[in-house]
Amino acid sequence: MSNQQSLYILWTNADLLTAKHMVMMYATNARMRGWWEEVTVIIWGAAAKLVAEDEDIQSYIERAQSAGVQFSACIACARNLGVVEELTALNIEVKAWGEPLTELLKKDAKLLTV
């Protein structure tokens, strides 16, 4: 996929309003309305704990996944927060993100940080 048609959203905070009214709203609409061919939400840090514990956010993620949004989480964060199993159960990829994120930045990929 061309970087020009791929958007990555680096989601790092656990603010519930930001999660619902920015991350989930934009990611879902971006796919449903064809603004981006590919949208990937990278869950990092405190966001991993929010996703693992909040059923409302989990339902937002399910709707976004149905719209074609991809979700992937930082394995180090998930391990440190004890939420690997919870994220995996939500069909969220869990992997090492340090090097891939660095490559995205070096390639000037479209990256939105929240």
Residue-level pLDDT, tens digit, the chain, 114 residues: 445 799 999 999 999 999 999 999 999 999 999 999 999 999 999 999 999 999 999 999 999 999 999 999 999 999 999 999 999 999 999 999 999 999 999 999 999 999
Question: How far apart are alpha carbons 27 and 108 in whole angstroms?
Answer: 19
Q: Which two tokens stand for residue 47?
A: 């966001």
Please give the domain boundaries of the chain with CATH numbers for all domains: 3-113 (3.40.1260.10)
Q: What are phi and psi of 84, to 5 degrees?
A: -60, -50
Q: What is the pLDDT of residue 1?
A: 45
Residue 45: helix, strand or coil by DSSP? Answer: coil
Question: How far apart are alpha carbons 61 and 41 in whole angstroms?
Answer: 10
Cβ atoms of residues 20 and 60 within 8 Å: yes
Chain segment 87-107, per-residue pLDDT in tens: 999 999 999 999 999 999 999
pTM for the full model? 0.95
Q: Which residues share a beta bridge with 112?
A: 9
